[in-house]
Structure 1
């Protein structure tokens, strides 16, 4: 039986620490990249190279350089991995560039020169038209490494770094995640089969602590649910930077005690916030006077200006500082972090 698109990828659940080996047996640690989860299908499985997103959409027309480079790959192959783009202007991986590439139509070839794509492979689901889902990760990884060696695969194809050494993985988490495009680790059991749709892996993201100004809330002023955050730019204008995950009851009570209603000059008066990320629905929010500073914990998925793509975690109110002392919104071009 051969795999045909769409195939639902295996997923990871977020954790705060590495699961013990007594639970999962021997562990593998892969570097987690900030890109678009994709599966690649080479002919004759699909008739032509197919690039499938996690949601099942086919986007190969947006990445002609990958289609051209597919001649390096053998037929009947299905790879799981992460699609990334490289910004030639800044010399960095760029998620914003990836979004531009994924949305491009007739300009795909032009964008490919300025924002070339690469594919980081971390699993092989089929080889020589033989489906490998029931094979343990250990065997699939050996096959993947042998594939790269035998075919001498080079850019745009890259083998995802993996280690079974916990100390080395911890070094990756603390040091490598300072590099734009690296978010953390994915932890896998060496004896695991590949189970489409199941959150059987573990995702450990590097997180940083910083501050932002509370500009609005959802819920009510007496029981806030989410905080909508911002930072002032160099001109003093409050720019949105993200939102928190749902507040814990004790945090919500503390914030409610310190909120002040917004006046008509609030800079977000005519602004709408999508709910959830990427949705066309909007949040029912209440503006508050932007004077409170929140200390937050955020992962490294940060766009230009310090805009967080994922919900951040509220840690505490910084009642010891004023809004003008919070970090500024960075409007400098050419960086995603």
Structure 2
């Protein structure tokens, strides 16, 4: 069954794809390699991200991948799904449920996706609405740390350190993951709703402020040499905040993040199923169930610290291939075909 998207639904889906689990951990790796240059580097990354979105919007009609390329994307998304789930499960085991078997928590999270993906597409399309009230909570929690921020941690800046800047620009690509969904979802936006121009700029601004705010707060909260030992800086930042309405603010935020991540995983799986359906007949519920079972088994196997670290390294290379190389090749080949 085909579906249509309003402009707001389109951008909200894209926002969830691009945030997901990434916003919890990207700061430590970026700051570890770029130091105080990180915030300047992210401004540059924001400009590159907007340029990519602009080009996607300009050439999206020429992005018509065939069955082979589409299935390569499905494999890539499967890799993203299992890596996200492995990281989520590992983090839950450390922070929340150390005595609970990982396969139990994994099965629960994937079970939500299984339920949603056996319903109508509108069920998945509307799931991201749940995260809207979570965003103000996230920002409010961060601003509770304002009195403890040290503004001198932003300096010194050395943009002539090209090696550090290039390495940081590579690691900041983690915040771009999911941007290729723009090309797959854009054709479903209602014809009478404009995406380019102001709407695209507003989305870019929201994306930038969301990630940049988290980066600035953790950069100002921790001394620079502390990032080698802090893998989830946002959680540690919130752990030190004392509030009256909840005993552990970090755990309260962690439950919000888990809900956010489950929605992200669910719509990633939806895209795997939907893109396959555009080339072949609609998959049966049996196929969808087996696909989810495979995700649970693979993610549980990968949910160790060493394996997650390897996955995080590989995922950035894979992202560059599937968000830059393949779109460029498909668009150029379709253009040549028309000529």
TM range (shorter): under 0.3
Scaled by the length of structure 2, the TM-score of the pair is 0.23
Task: Point out which structure has higher relative CO (alpha carbons under 8 A, 6+ apart).
Answer: 2
Return the structure number with greater helix share: 2
TM, length-normalised to structure 1: 0.23
Bigger proportion of residues as strand = 1
